[in-house]
Structure 1
Amino acid sequence: MKYYLLTGLCVFFTLFGCKDTNLKDENTTYVGGQINNPESSYVILSQGNKIIDTLYLDEKNQFGKDFQDLKSGIYTFKHPPENQTLYIEPGDSIVIWLNTLSFDKSLNFSGEGAEESNFLLNMFLNNQENNDLVLTYYKMSPENFARVSDSIRKSRLENLNKLKAKNNFSEEFTSIAEKIISYEFYDLRERYTFLIEKYYPEIAETIPEDFNDYRENINFNDNELKDYYVYTNLIDDYLRTKSIEYCEKNHLDKKCFDLNSFDNIRRRMLLIDSLSNLQALKNEFLDRLADRSIIMAESKERIDSILSTLQEIGYSNLEEAKNLADVQKGYFVGNSLKDLKAENTKGEIKTYGEIIKKPTITYAWSIYAPAHHRWQHKIIKQLKKKYPELDFLGVNIDLGDREEWLRTLENYDYDKEDEYQIAERSTSKETYKKYLNKVLFIDPKGTIVHGDVQFGNPHFEEEILEFLNRE
């Protein structure tokens, strides 16, 4: 059915932008399409951290534009709050169709040069399946998992070669696609290694010496893929595993798998600083690690240690880290939140002192991180049934987007009685986004009891029980 819709769309777009491929201009690239059930009034085309253009939807939810002198490479197509990648070469004429009710699965690219983007989309969908695959198969022996991961890589490469022959893929795109397939394979092995070492150390001892030989082939300075999720996921998982292995080898402490510990985060900071010369890539990880370590800090001493490490490695965003540290000082254990204000779904401004009546767990979420807030609310729904003696308070950080917030609550059928939106902002929205994985355990008086908890971590329920059983 999508094929016919897309055919109709391409015919329509010839009226105002779809190019005749027989008269193809090698310097002009067309990007257009239609969005059913749009969540916002525009789409954004970007590459890395650079916005190429913002295209607004017309009355039929259609958009389109010719671009001059776009370089070949991976781009990001954003329709807030969702986004996806596409591949563009000069002279392409790409038509995009999607339905926001099923963003990734409905998304389709057609037109000249669209098959490369469809290949990347299928890789994304397959990669999501691989996330479940690792959790299903990680208990198997290293030899069997090696066969499974080898088979996946072989199948991906065979499919790529068939599509290359059929669609005449350029050597440049083929090279990028081969690297993506390799990085996906490396990440499967890396995640398996982490899970086995954490949950089945006796099996970990049987991992062959050559199982992780792929690590020698990881390029930590890949400029073409520095913004691509498969590549950055691999590096993230590599840093995680290596930091744990370093801890275990040097017997630093008994909590080597505590990914929020200062020693673990410090080790990952030092690793990426030594491995990569790409400043943009290095900063992405240092920013992420600096933010995580600061927002999980519960004392001034820990904050000082983190800032000292960042200064030691010459962190370029040190002032931003210091500003975040100043914000975090308000969330130390023992601090009171009773005067903090939030707005309920009725439009009433309430203080936490008025809202909190019993032991409470608060979590922050954003309408602009849909997959994340769906995951959060799914977990909270289960915990509410399991722990009725607790209140779970959802705090939306999108001040100024009240109507969008209310519509999201309605669309996803979230419990409005336990949902609030921040009523005032003491810092930037970007700063609040850094708290989306942090939860606060608060007593009935509005005082923070526990503040270094990460949402949904494997020990989340143990921490909840400890909170409930405290004197």
Structure 2
Amino acid sequence: MKYYLLFFLIGVILFTGCKDSKKDQKGTFIGGQIMNPYNPYFVLSKDNKTIDTLFLDQNNQFGKKLEDIEPGIYSFKHPPENQIMYLEPGDSVLVWLNTMQFDESLNFSGTGAAKSSFLLDMFLNNERNNNMMLSYYKINPTEFAEITDSIKKSRKNKLKALNEKEKFSESFLELANNSIDYDFYHLRERYTFLVKKYYNELAQQIPDDFNSYRKDLNFNDTQLKEYYGYLNFIEDHLRTLSIERCLDELDTNSNCFELHSVENIQYRINLADSLIEQNEIKNIFINRLAIQGLVFSNNAEKIDSILGILDRINYKGENLPHLKQMATIQKRLLPGNNIGNLPLVSFEDEIVRLEDISNKKIVTYHWSLQAPEHYKWQHSIIANLREKYPELEFVGINIDEGSKQAWRNTVQAYNMNKNREYKLNSPDININLLKNYLNKLIFLDTNGTIINGKAQLNTPNFERQILEFLNE
């Protein structure tokens, strides 16, 4: 099948190559094939703006020549999945993937494809490094420095060897080298955060030059604003600085160690506002931090204080109306409020109220088809909790708008308990805002009144919260 598609690509390239104008020669061809597609389209975008939507034919193939493509990182989506690629005028790139293993199966070929393949390889290596952190962040700082130095050197050597073969443009070489640097910085920053927050003995052993890269940071690199490693670094850097402030300036008992406290959120928002000049980058982090602050606020005063922070820095980002809507949603989910009348759609397509699902106390968890890794992980944990706490009713709520059949297919494909899986039926609620609640669970008494609206599956005290809920 891949060979058949390769002939398809060659044919298109030959056809478009017959044209003589410089404009045509500078065009960029994008084609591909998606096995087991979720939907019939492939969306190319940049800076959160859609460049084009390419539709799949009867063979699940797509292809189009695009004009006026600027060199840089582009995002492509086959909802709910997405990835990045690097495009320049004159490239003819073929994308092949199987949705059953989206990132692992993804393959780029054709003229200019080596750039996207390099970025994909970086992504997969970073995923492995994230797992590595779980084992390595407790080791001596000097050893960790050696490991990260080795990773950086290996990637630089690979890029150098690849460039000798591919003759990359200067713009891509600059981006690739910077991306390696910021991935390296990210590893160092995560380690610094973890040991300073949790392992003071190791923190005391961090060499003076461990974070020497900080003097060379550029928080306004618009070329990297679509590169996840760069954005992840800035997010972790702000987080680390907030912890260092606690250690250096404040009482160690201060709640600024609590990342979701209003004090910590305010400090990081002010940092982002002062360190980042480019609004398109700055607003990414102010928006993220405000969302965190709102989602984890447990009273109306804290919610209002987060909005107050935005007002004091004169935040005018396009997401401000959404943040205000989110503040309203969060106020509805505070303890003491009743959501028993929330309408849901059952697997059998019947409308039911949340309070009528069970006579037991209820724990709701929330998921989206657009976050497959999340719902697989989440449902595995929920299955164990159901066995461990039969006194509780664990109710799954899918937040996606529409897509009823896709929802049912997923419930069946992953052997979810279809008698306890429901779909949200509230058209007045902004679905995109609800995605920020995927990590939260809501504890309800038998009358539908919220007892706890801030529990998370991935926190150390989660089961203690369950026991307290059972004993109330």
- TM-score (structure 1 length as normaliser): 0.94
CA drift at 1:17: 5.2
Hey, what does 1:157 align to over in structure 2? 156
TM-score w.r.t. length of structure 2: 0.94
Contact 1:361 1:391 in 2 (8 A): yes
The answer (yes or no) to whether the contact 1:248–1:256 under 8 Å persists in 2 is: no
Q: Aligned residue pairs: how many?
A: 466
- Aligned pairs for 1:302-313 (under 5 A) are 302-313=302-313
Check the 8 A contact 2:74/2:84 in 1, yes or no: yes
CA displacement at 1:464 relative to structure 2: 2.4
Which of 419, 422, 430 is the equivalent residue of 2:421? 419
State the AA in 1 paired with 2:295.
Answer: I
1:64 aligns with 2:66: no
Letter in 2 for 1:293: G
> Structure 1 pair 289/104, CA: closer, same or farther in 2 (3 Å)?
same
Q: Distance in 2 between matches of 1:260 and 1:466?
A: 22
Letter in 2 for 1:299: N
Q: Does 2:89 correspond to 1:90? A: yes
Q: Moved runs in structure 1, 4+ residues, more than 6 A? A: 20-24
Which residue is 1:110 aligned to? 109
Deviation at 1:303, TM superposition (A): 1.7
Unpaired runs of at least 5, structure 2 = none
Identity level (%): 48
Letter in 2 for 1:277: E
Find the counterpart in structure 2 of residue 285 from structure 1. Answer: 285
Aligned pairs (5 A) from 1:87-236: 87-236=86-235
Counterpart code for 2:203: A
Indicate the residue corresponding to 1:338 in structure 2.
340
Residue type of the partner of 1:436? L
Could you tell me which residue of structure 2 aligns to residue 43 of structure 1?
42
Q: Residues 94 and 113 of structure 1 are in contact (CA less than 8 Å); yes or no, is this contact kept in structure 2?
A: yes
SS at match of 1:314: coil
CA distance 1:258–1:454, change in 2 (3 Å): farther
CA distance in structure 2 between the aligned counterparts of 1:28 and 1:407, rounded to whole angstroms: 40
Distance 1:23 1:425, change over 3 A: closer
Q: Secondary structure, in 3 states, of the residue corresponding to 1:78?
A: strand
Query: Is the contact made by 2:13 and 2:92 (CA closer than 8 Å) also made in structure 1?
Result: no
Contact persistence 2:440–2:454 (CA under 8 A)? yes
- Once the two structures are TM-superposed, the CA of residue 306 in structure 1 deviates from its matched residue by 1.2
Displacement of 1:416 in angstroms is: 1.3
Distance 1:238 1:168 in 2: 34
1:4-45 deviation line (CA, Å, top 9, x unaligned): x43331212344456677989541110001111000110000
CA contact (8 A) 2:148 2:184 kept: yes
Matches within 5 A, 1:341-360: 341-360=343-362
Measured after TM superposition, the shift of residue 289 of structure 1 is 1.4
Q: Distance in 2 between matches of 1:223 and 1:287?
A: 18
Tell me the distance in 2 between the aligned counterparts of 1:7 and 1:73.
28
Out of 4, 7, 15, the residue aligned to residue 8 of structure 1 is 4
Instruction: Tell me how far apart the structure 2 counterparts of residues 313 and 227 of structure 1 sit (CA, whole Å).
Output: 25
**1:444 maps to which of 446, 466, 471:** 446
Q: Quick one: distance in 2 between partners of 1:349 and 1:268?
A: 43
Q: Which digits, 9 at most, give the CA deviation of each residue in 1:354-388, with x for residues without a partner?
A: 01422322121111122222222233223333333
The answer to whether the Cα contact below 8 Å between 1:294 and 1:328 also exists between their aligned partners in 2 is: yes
Matched residue SS, 1:357? coil
Instruction: Flag the 1:171–1:424 CA change in 2: closer, same or farther, 3 A.
Output: same
In the other structure, the counterpart of 1:433 is 435
| 1:334–1:448 Cα contact (<8 Å) kept | yes
Residue identity matched to 1:222: D
Partner deviation per Cα, 1:199-236 (whole Å, 9 max, x = no partner): 32111111112111112222100100112100000011
Q: Measure, in 2, the Cα distance between the counterparts of 1:21 and 1:178.
A: 32
Change beyond 3 A, Cα 1:197–1:180 = same
- The alpha-carbon distance between structure 1 residues 454 and 315, as it changes in their structure 2 partners (threshold 3 A), is farther
The alpha-carbon deviation at position 68 of structure 1 amounts to 0.7
Q: Match for 1:393 among 379, 395, 405?
A: 395
Say which is worse superposed, 345-354 or 62-71, in terms of deviation: 345-354
CA distance in 2, matches of 1:358, 1:250: 48
Q: Give per-residue Cα distances to partners, 1:400-444, cap 9 Å, x unaligned.
A: 211111111122222212211012222222222222222211122
Say if 1:22 and 1:241 are closer, same or farther in 2 by CA, change over 3 A: farther
Pair 324,15 (structure 1): closer, same or farther in 2 beyond 3 Å: same
1:124-153 Cα offsets, whole Å, 9 max, x none, are 100000001111111110000000000000
Instruction: Measure the CA separation in 2 of the matches of 1:391 and 1:458.
Output: 21
1:265-306 Cα deviation digits (max 9, x unpaired): 111111111110111111111111112211222222112211
Name the residue aligned to 1:239: 238
